[in-house]
Amino acid sequence: MADRIEGVKKLFTSKSAHVETNRGDAHYEKLFQSCQARIEELKTQTPSNNRLDIDDLLQDQGVNRRDFMKWASAVTGMLMLPASFTPLVADAALLMNRAPVIWLELSDCAGNTEAMLRSDGPKIDEILLDIISLEFNETIMAASGHQAEAQLEDAMHTFKDKYLLFVEGAIPMGINGQYGTIGAQGETFYDHLMRISKDAAVVVAVGSCATFGGVPAASPNPTDAVGVMDVVNGKPLINIPACPANPANMVGVIIHYILTGQVPELDSLLRPKFAFGYRIHDNCERRAHFDAGEFVEEWGDVGAKNNFCLYKVGCKGPMTFNNCSIIRYNESVNWPVGVGRGCIGCSEPDFWDKYAYERPMADANIKAPTGGVEKTVDEFGLGLLTAAGIGIGIHAAASIIAGKKEDGGEV
Amino acid sequence: MKAGYKQVKRMTGMMRSIHFVNIISMIVAVITGLYIADPYYQAFIAEDAVDKYVMAWNRWGHFIVAIIFDVTSIIVAYLFFFSRFEKPYKKVIPTKRNIVDFFEVLLNLLTLNRRKKFDSTHSDSFNTVYFAIFHLLLAWMLFTGLQLYVHVFPHGESSIGAWWPWILHFATDWTLVVSSWMVGTTATGVNIMDVRISHHLTMWLLLAWVAFHIYYQIWRTIFWKEGDIAIAVGGSKFVKENKA
């Protein structure tokens, strides 16, 4: 209830999703100057910890300079900056090892770490994530136990107020956070997050669990899981939802931070507008079939073979804000709708209860916080209408009988 | 005219036009809205895509009647307070007279016209409150509908200028928070699906409203014998000369 009251308080302060793509020459010239100064300054610093050389790494993976610059211009476009920023973006990418990153793993499946690490033949986005100065990440670090904790302490101390804190996973709040503890001291996830976020420059919640609670927070939410923005206050916070979050958007946020020293423009859910300002639906390659009313009715039918719209088998693209229909995954190789199954709205709050169903929600019959979503609404509505009809019928019948008596009495 | 009766004007031409425009809008909105929620009939798959535009036509129809509904609602809201004919808000204010009037009309319905201790010449408090509920439901429908619609303008541009999406965001973004509050969630943050669910449920409430409205007006016509049903068509009803 308290959250709901808090929600109503936010009612008139919510920011709109409007995406400003052109802020005028004066703005961009000023921004260019400040970004350039920042890049020059970063170049004078030595890499904090990561000894890998980006040029060697790119060469090893068979990426030549030309491919790299093509990638840089695409990222410039994704960040909604003018083309003149491309050299700066390329420089910022090469300087990514100047940004110390601490990566926390809470209530989740490590899917975002997997997305970052396990692509088949790493693309530039993933290679760049190799060279960030990743100071701490439970999943991939060699150290364990007290040794790992010492490393975390060391990183927090060395990069105090400078590190980017990436958080993956929801925070269970039930029974004083005892649903999730970590380390030899048995620190709860909540305490762990609060302690480490205190000295962070920016907190980045990665994936749907860290942003909105995701699957752990799905009904009935037994652990009272919440997202990072529910518990961390007073820090710049960026949400990169989706299940998993797209590595391209992680890189975009880091590059934007290196380039400008600021968080990108965010919407009311603290998602970067450059990535989450659009609905999947509006840039979908199957959109024309939606307008034509050409739908896949069943898996494998003639519509499926003709790449028809997946709305009737549950695509939630019309209600989902993300850039996967534009940038796709693994450097534009493919994305869910491209492989012939609908979007499940994984970057939206409450997606597990209100989006992830292979039917339009008007025809869904799943348990959700209210005991069912639109199917329940329809059945309830039809019941209500029937009840109204029956009531009317009874009243009408009574009126007819009573009316006749009255007529009989009146002479 | 039957002897001993006099004609009382109840609805102006403007009010009646709005009434029937609303009826048509509502029927179209329900038929197209159900298709948009869950396409319940199939396009002719053998036809070329260029020849069909089924979802687009449904959305077009839905939005056109919605925008007509929006405009009539603005007119109705204006007339609610400033009509020179009859100002409905005066019947909604909970004064003693209105409260008594409200319950007398309700009792009249519940006692099947055995008890009728109010003046049925002019619009009564009960019906006016009932109409006010309709317009509140409708307002909610319009705000949630426009919130669902505004995301077709991600860049904030529209064919009539940037002010239109701006004003839609300004006027309807709060429905996200309120819908989420109404529908309930276990997650952090609000989502547009809650607005959709609320928009969809409100349709059913409106249909239930319509069912009682039509029934009650016919019932009045039959029981009061004052030709109430004609108000919506000819604009007037008939009351006995000695009454009022």
**Structure-derived torsion over alpha carbons of residues A279, A285, A290, A292, reported in degrees to the nearest 10:** 140
Question: Which residues are CB-neighbours of A209 under 8 A, at least 6 positions away?
Answer: A106, A107, A108, A168, A169, A170, A215, A216, A217, A225, A227
Q: Under a CB-based contact definition with an 8 Å cutoff, are residues B157 and B169 in contact?
A: no
**How do the domains of chain B map onto residue ranges?**
5-240
Q: In this predicted model, which residue has the larger pLDDT, A54 or A260?
A: A260
The count of other CB atoms within 10 Å of the CB of residue A394 is 10
**Strand ranges of the sheet holding A133-137, from the earlier edge strand across to the other edge:** A133-137, A100-105, A164-168, A202-206, A237-240
Q: How far is CA A178 from the centre of its chain?
A: 26
Tell me, yes or no, if A214 comes closer than 8 A to chain B by beta carbon: yes
Q: Under a CB-based contact definition with an 8 Å cutoff, are residues A50 and B204 in contact?
A: no
B189 to A291: CB separation less than 8 angstroms, yes or no? no
A377 to B181: CB separation less than 8 angstroms, yes or no? no
Q: How far is CA A340 from the centre of its chain?
A: 22
B223 to A378: CB separation less than 8 angstroms, yes or no? no
Q: Which two tokens stand for residue A368?
A: 């959700």
A369 to B177: CB separation less than 8 angstroms, yes or no? no
pLDDT of residue B16: 93
Q: Which two tokens stand for residue A372?
A: 């069912």
pLDDT of residue A195: 94
pLDDT of residue A239: 94
> Cα–Cα distance between B177 and A217 in angstroms, integer?
18
> Cα–Cα distance between A210 and A73 in angstroms, integer?
30
A316/chain B closest Cα distance in angstroms:
9
pLDDT bin (cut points 50, 70, 90) of residue A94 is: confident
Would you call A172 exposed, middle or buried from its count of C-beta atoms within 10 A (0-12, 13-18, 19+)? Answer: buried
Complex ipTM, two decimals? 0.82
> Cα–Cα distance between B211 and A78 in angstroms, integer?
52
A114/chain B closest Cα distance in angstroms:
24
Question: Which tens digit of pLDDT belongs to each residue from A343-378?
Answer: 999 999 989 888 888 888 877 766 555 555 666 677
pLDDT of residue B90: 84
State the architecture of B5-240 in CATH terms: Up-down Bundle (1.20)
pLDDT of residue A356: 87
Cα nearest neighbour of A1 on chain B: B181
B31/chain A closest Cα distance in angstroms:
14
Question: Is the pLDDT at A170 greater than 50, yes or no?
Answer: yes
Mean of all residue pLDDT scores within chain A: 84
DSSP B242: T
B180 to A277: CB separation less than 8 angstroms, yes or no? no
pLDDT bin (cut points 50, 70, 90) of residue A411 is: very low
| B 2-21 residues inside an 8 A Cβ radius of A | none
Question: Which tens digit of pLDDT belongs to each residue from A301-359?
Answer: 988 999 999 999 999 999 999 999 988 887 778 899 999 989 999 999 989 888 888 88
DSSP A226: E
pLDDT of residue A18: 66
Which of A12, A277, A291 is closest, CB to CB, to B174? A12
Query: What mean pLDDT comes out for the span A265-273?
Result: 88
Which of B37, B39, B188 is closest, CB to CB, to A217? B188
DSSP A222: T
A399 to B219: CB separation less than 8 angstroms, yes or no? yes
pLDDT of residue A410: 40
Question: B141: closest CA among B215, B195, B82, B182?
Answer: B195
> Cα–Cα distance between B150 and A167 in angstroms, integer?
32
Rounded to a whole number of angstroms, the distance between the first and last alpha carbons of chain B is: 17
The count of other CB atoms within 10 Å of the CB of residue A411 is 4
Q: Which two tokens stand for residue B131?
A: 């109409």
pLDDT of residue A80: 87
A370 to B184: CB separation less than 8 angstroms, yes or no? yes
The pairing of beta strand A164-168 with beta strand A100-105: parallel
B207 to A214: CB separation less than 8 angstroms, yes or no? no
Q: Which two tokens stand for residue A313?
A: 């088998």
> Cα–Cα distance between A73 and A370 in angstroms, integer?
46
- Please report the sign of the dihedral spanned by the C-alpha atoms of residue A9, residue A15, residue A17, residue A18: positive
Question: Is the pLDDT at A409 greater than 50, yes or no?
Answer: no
Tell me, yes or no, if A400 comes closer than 8 A to chain B by beta carbon: no
| A 81-120 residues inside an 8 A Cβ radius of B | none
Cα nearest neighbour of A388 on chain B: B208
Helix axes A65-78, A86-94, angle to 10 degrees: 110
Contacts of B219 in chain A (CB under 8 A): 395-396, 399
Tell me, yes or no, if A227 comes closer than 8 A to chain B by beta carbon: yes
Which of A16, A171, A287, A322 would you mutate first to test chain B, the one with the most B CBs within 10 A?
A16
A382/chain B closest Cα distance in angstroms:
7
Say which range, A17-26, A253-262, B19-28, has the weakest mean pLDDT: A17-26
Would you call A203 exposed, middle or buried from its count of C-beta atoms within 10 A (0-12, 13-18, 19+)? Answer: buried
Q: In this predicted model, which residue has the larger pLDDT, B49 or B92?
A: B92
Question: Which tens digit of pLDDT belongs to each residue from A143-161?
Answer: 888 888 898 999 999 889 9
**Kind and range of the H or E element at A225?**
strand A225-226
Helix axes B54-82, B13-37, angle to 10 degrees: 150
pLDDT of residue A265: 87
Q: In this predicted model, which residue has the larger pLDDT, A119 or B185?
A: B185
Tell me, yes or no, if B99 comes closer than 8 A to chain A by beta carbon: no
Which of A295, A343, A350 would you mutate first to test chain B, the one with the most B CBs within 10 A?
A350
Query: What mean pLDDT comes out for the span B30-57?
Result: 84
Tell me, yes or no, if A409 comes closer than 8 A to chain B by beta carbon: no
Q: Which two tokens stand for residue B112?
A: 């099947």
B21/chain A closest Cα distance in angstroms:
23
Question: Which residues are CB-neighbours of A171 under 8 A, at least 6 positions away?
Answer: A106, A107, A177, A180, A189, A190, A193, A225, A226, A227, A228, A230, A231
pLDDT of residue B74: 86
A292 to B53: CB separation less than 8 angstroms, yes or no? yes
pLDDT bin (cut points 50, 70, 90) of residue B243 is: low
Question: Which residues are CB-neighbours of A228 under 8 A, at least 6 positions away?
Answer: A167, A171, A193, A203, A205, A210, A211, A237, A239
> Cα–Cα distance between B140 and A60 in angstroms, integer?
59
DSSP A266: B
Query: What mean pLDDT comes out for the span A199-219?
Result: 93
Predicted TM-score (pTM) of the model is 0.81
pLDDT of residue A373: 63
Which of A240, A377, A399 would you mutate first to test chain B, the one with the most B CBs within 10 A?
A377
Cα nearest neighbour of A405 on chain B: B114
Question: A43: closest CA among A253, A263, A262, A259?
Answer: A259
How many Cβ pairs closer than 8 A exist between chain A and B? 213
Q: In this predicted model, which residue has the larger pLDDT, B74 or B210?
A: B210
